[in-house]
Copies of this chain bind each other. A is one copy, B any other.
Amino acid sequence: MSVTAAQGFVASGVVAGIKSTGAKDVSVVVNEGPSKVAAGVFTTNRIEAAPVTWSREVVSDGRADAVILNSGGANACTGPEGFADTHRTAEHVAHALSQTGREVGAGDVAVCSTGLIGLRLPMDTLLAGADAAITGLSHDGGDAAAEAIMTTDSKPKTAVAGRDGWTVGGMAKGAGMLAPGMATMLCVVTTDAGIDAATAKAALASAVARTLNRVDSDGCMSTNDTVLLMASGASGQTPDPSQFEAALTEVLASLSRQLVADAEGASHDIAVTVVNATTEHAAEEVARAITRSNLFKAAIFGNDPNWGRVISAAGTVPEEVAPFDPTLIDVSINGVQVCRAAGVGDDRDLVDLTGREVTVVVDLHAGDATATVWTNDLTHDYVHENSAYSS
Contacts and interface: CB of A to CB of B under 8 A. Distances in A.
A240 interface: no
A295 interface: yes
A343 B298 CA distance: 34
* Dominant SS among interface residues on chain A: loop
B313 A220 contact: yes
Given A47-B311, A47-B315, A383 B390 contact: no
Contact of A182 (B45, B295, B379): B295
Contacts of A315: 45-48, 223
Contact of A179 (B76, B220, B295): B295
Contact of A77 (B221, B223, B339, B386): B339
A32 interface: no
Interface string A110-150: 00000001110000000000000000000000000000000
Interface string A284-322: 000001001111001101101011110111111101000
A69 B208 CA distance: 49
**Chain A interface size, under 10 / 10 to 19 / 20 to 34 / 35 or more:** 35 or more
Contacts of A384: 380
Nearest to A119: B344
A328 to B, nearest CB: 11
Contact of A386 (B45, B180, B218, B298): B298
17 contacts: A76-B308, A77-B311, A77-B342, A77-B344, A119-B344, A218-B293, A220-B316, A222-B312, A223-B308, A223-B315, A294-B382, A294-B386, A295-B386, A301-B387, A304-B390, A308-B391, A380-B380
Interface of A: 44-48, 76-79, 117-119, 179-182, 217-223, 289, 292-295, 298-299, 301-302, 304, 306-309, 311-317, 319, 326-327, 329, 339, 341-344, 378-380, 382-384, 386-391
